[in-house]
Amino acid sequence: MAIPKSSPHEEVVGLIPAGGKAARIAPLPCSKELYPIGFRLADDGQGSRPKVISHYLLEKMRFAGITKAYIVLRPGKWDIPAYFGDGALLNIDLAYLMLGAPFGVPFTVDQAYPFVRHAMVAFGFPDILFDSEDGFVKLLARQVARPADVTLGLFPAKHPSTDDTVDFNDNGGVRDIIPRPSVSDLRYSWAIAVWNLNFTQFLHDYLREKKITAAQNLELSAGQAIRAAIQAGLRVESLVLNEEPYLDSGTPDDLHKAIKRTV
């Protein structure tokens, strides 16, 4: 499938943060991104092999025609490049970057700034499972139809205390993101996104200031960074991709549900 593009010259690159410590489900025998969930057909077509959590996200990126992705690692998570290698398992070119500032997902993805600043970015969390095989296809098509600095893929929110809820209008325009509200009447959260070089540059500049005091503050979330972009005047759009909530396999309950669903 060809990649929908917002311009004839714009490349779409996958970007995946893998800098977390998996504290909520520790201890694990491997990085949480490699925890086996379900099975895949063996390379030789004979029988099946375990399928790790992050395989699902990469698979959805590849389905959208994305052929290159960066995974940003925390030091010590060497089992991830050892497992995926150059990406031949998924027919996608993979490269690995080392986490510099361990202050939250925005800092993690900004590590890729020199490599993605001229590209359209397709972003997803490697431990989140969602039912929308063509999710990135739809977001990239939406980006062509209604160009925005960020386009969010939405799913029903079920964990208000850990999910970002999204306030959007009837056309999908995002008015606000409420990061991890204790109580919310908003029905949807986001799990994946695509963004253009305007947001990549905004994030880089925004974090340059935040980095000065980041060590003294709570970790910055991706939702907080996108909210700051909205407040700065960047255009953020959204698209509901499925009416089934996603599973955050970085939590014990959702990990258990994911295992049961794929058995």
Percentage of the chain with pLDDT > 70? 93
Residue 71, SS3?
A: strand
> b or e along 188-211 (b: 16 or more beta carbons within 10 Å of the residue's beta carbon)?
bbbbbbbbbeebbebbeebbeebe
Higher pLDDT, 60 or 7: 60
For residue 102, give the amino acid letter. Answer: P
pLDDT of amino acid 263: 54
**All domains of the chain in start order, with CATH:** 12-262 (3.90.550.10)
Mean pLDDT of 82-101: 96
Question: Is the pLDDT assigned to residue 104 strictly greater than 80?
Answer: yes
Least confident of 30-39, 96-105, 178-187: 178-187
Report if pTM > 0.85.
yes
**Average model confidence (pLDDT) for the chain?**
90
| CA–CA dist 193, 204 (Å, integer) | 17
Distance between CA atoms of 90 and 67, rounded to whole angstroms?
A: 9
